[in-house]
């Protein structure tokens, strides 16, 4: 038997405000396309089951467009006779049960098995026993529901859960409502543990894997490949299959300590142009940037360098020391002298310069100590 494990598709996720030729958010379309690619692969590979380990949707109340797209793709599997099992994740599970779940409508489709009520459920699909633990009301309930998952010695057993895992390494997202399992809670008696929540593809125990997300949603994922796992129980193999995703580049930070205006400008432009930004999501961090150097930057030139990117964001971490170095080494002098220093750097072309300066100095003389 073969199982296709996919997770964290986050249908309905949108970002950056960039729209495509149809007027739709481009990142939302990227996320849709990624899920469609996984469905395409499932139709070609014909696994015995497709198992989604949570966060099918990005929110409790996904848009009509996201719901419609999900129905279209899941129906493709259903009509081909490929069972689709999906558990709810933290993004789509409401805090209050009376809110209801968007997963309710999936119960009406043949070959589709949603598990979303905050409790353990077992589903038998052919020779597979799939033990499902969706996102629960709290951490204690998650552990309690997990305790009901007991492998059946007569079948191949799969455990599906949506949570972070803490062991030798930490696999978590740092979200406010995430739930965490100790690595010791993942029983080695299961033939495969299908985990969701962490967005990187990772093996966390001999029998446990995160499939990872199908698209990148934060710069923490900039270096991650995206795709799904194909599990073959006869050959006892787990193979990660990559799918294309929108390129995301987190450029190496530029440290401006000791650099002049021109060199900082040059390094920023070279870094942006050097990553070939066309169609990519790009972030640049500039550190130890003196305020006077920041004020002198040609931001229009930087925007031109990044114009072909789908999205470009720059973080300028400014320092507020005096232009000459240590603020203690440049004490503030009399107001009239400070004013002279200021106007020397301010163009007054086209204005009555001498009359303006004379009136300003007269006013300062009246308040100088």
Task: Identify the CATH number of the domain in which residue 147 sits.
Answer: 3.60.21.10
pLDDT of amino acid 167? 76
Same domain for 99 and 156, yes or no, is: yes
- The pLDDT > 90 percentage for the chain reads 78
- The pLDDT > 70 percentage for the chain reads 86
pLDDT digit string, tens, across residues 249-305: 999 999 999 999 999 999 999 999 999 999 999 999 999 999 999 999 999 999 999
- Whether 357 is in a domain gets the answer no
Domain that holds residue 65: 2-243
Tracing tokens 């059946």 back to the chain, one arrives at 152
Cα–Cα distance for residue pair 185/147, rounded to 1 Å: 9
pLDDT of amino acid 287? 97
pLDDT digit string, tens, across residues 54-106: 999 999 999 999 999 999 999 999 999 999 999 999 999 887 776 789 999 99
pLDDT above 90: residue 230? yes
Same domain for 196 and 183, yes or no, is: yes
Same domain for 103 and 90, yes or no, is: yes
Same domain for 253 and 158, yes or no, is: no
Confidence of residue 338 (pLDDT cuts 50, 70, 90): low
Same domain for 95 and 217, yes or no, is: yes
State which of 243, 259, 274 marks the end of a domain.
Answer: 243
Same domain for 53 and 79, yes or no, is: yes
Same domain for 170 and 268, yes or no, is: no
pLDDT above 70: residue 125? yes
pLDDT of amino acid 48? 97
- Whether 289 is in a domain gets the answer yes
State which of 223, 243, 263 marks the end of a domain.
Answer: 243
Confidence of residue 320 (pLDDT cuts 50, 70, 90): confident
pTM of the model: 0.84
pLDDT of amino acid 174? 78
Same domain for 152 and 23, yes or no, is: yes
3-state secondary structure labels for all residues of the chain: CEEEEECCCCECCCCCCCECCCCCEHHHHHHHHHHHHHHHHHHHHCCCEEEECCCCECCCCCCHHHHHHHHHHHHHHHHCCCCEEEECCCCCCCCCHHHCCHHHHHHHCCCEEEECCCCCEEEEECCEEEEEECCCCCHHHHHHHHCCCCCCCCCEEEEEEECEEECCCEECCCCCCCCEEEHHHCCCCCCEEEEECCCCCEEEECCEEECCCCCCCCHHHCCCCEEEEEEECCCCEEEEEEECCCCEEECCCEECCCCCHHHHHHHHHHHHHHCCCCCCEEEEEEEEEEHHHHHHCCHHHHHHHCCCCCEEEEEEEEECCECCECHHHCCCCCHHHHHHHHHHCCCCCCCCHHHHHHHHHHHHHCCCC
Same domain for 302 and 209, yes or no, is: no
Same domain for 98 and 53, yes or no, is: yes
pLDDT of amino acid 172? 80
- Whether 195 is in a domain gets the answer yes
Domain count, the chain: 2
State which of 182, 217, 243 marks the end of a domain.
Answer: 243
- Give the CB-side neighbour count of residue 90, counting CA atoms within 13 A: 19
- Whether 161 is in a domain gets the answer yes
Q: Which of 222, 191, 234, 189 is nearest to 209 (CA)?
A: 191
Same domain for 27 and 171, yes or no, is: yes
Mean of pLDDT over the chain: 90
Same domain for 92 and 229, yes or no, is: yes
């Amino acid at each position: 038997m073969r199982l296709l494990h996919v997770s964290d598709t986050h249908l309905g996720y949108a970002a950056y405000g960039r729209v495509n030729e149809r007027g739709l958010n481009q990142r939302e379309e990227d996320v849709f396309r990624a899920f469609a690619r996984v469905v395409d692969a499932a139709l070609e590979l014909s696994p015995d089951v497709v198992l989604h380990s949570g966060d099918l949707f990005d929110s409790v109340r996904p848009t009509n467009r996201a719901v419609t797209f999900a129905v279209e793709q899941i129906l493709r599997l259903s009509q081909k006779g490929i069972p689709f099992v999906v558990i709810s994740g933290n993004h789509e599970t409401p805090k209050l049960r009376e809110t209801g779940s968007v997963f309710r409508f999936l119960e009406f489709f043949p070959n589709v098995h949603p598990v979303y009520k905050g409790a353990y459920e077992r589903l038998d699909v052919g020779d597979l026993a799939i033990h499902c633990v969706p996102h629960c009301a709290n951490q204690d309930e998650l552990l309690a529901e997990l305790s009901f998952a007991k492998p059946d010695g007569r079948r191949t057993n799969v455990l599906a859960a949506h949570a972070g895992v803490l062991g030798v390494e930490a696999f978590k997202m740092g979200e406010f409502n995430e739930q965490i399992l100790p690595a010791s809670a993942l029983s080695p008696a299961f033939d495969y543990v299908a985990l969701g929540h962490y967005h990187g593809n990772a093996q966390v125990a001999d029998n446990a894997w995160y499939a990872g997300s199908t698209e990148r949603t934060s710069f923490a994922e900039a270096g991650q490949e995206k795709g799904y796992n194909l599990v073959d129980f006869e050959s006892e193999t787990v193979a990660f299959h990559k799918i294309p995703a929108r390129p995301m580049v987190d450029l190496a930070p530029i440290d401006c300590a000791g650099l002049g205006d021109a060199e900082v400008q040059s390094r920023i432009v070279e870094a942006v142009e050097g990553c070939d930004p066309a169609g990519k999501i790009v972030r640049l961090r500039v550190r130890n940037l003196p305020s006077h150097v920041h004020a002198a930057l040609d931001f229009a030139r930087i925007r031109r360098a990044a114009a072909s990117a789908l999205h470009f964001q720059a973080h300028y971490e400014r320092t507020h020391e005096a232009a000459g170095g240590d603020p203690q080494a440049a004490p503030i002098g009399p107001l009239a002298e400070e004013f002279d220093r200021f106007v020397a750097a301010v163009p007054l072309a086209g204005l009555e310069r001498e009359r303006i300066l004379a009136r300003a100095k007269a006013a300062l003389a009246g308040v100088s100590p």
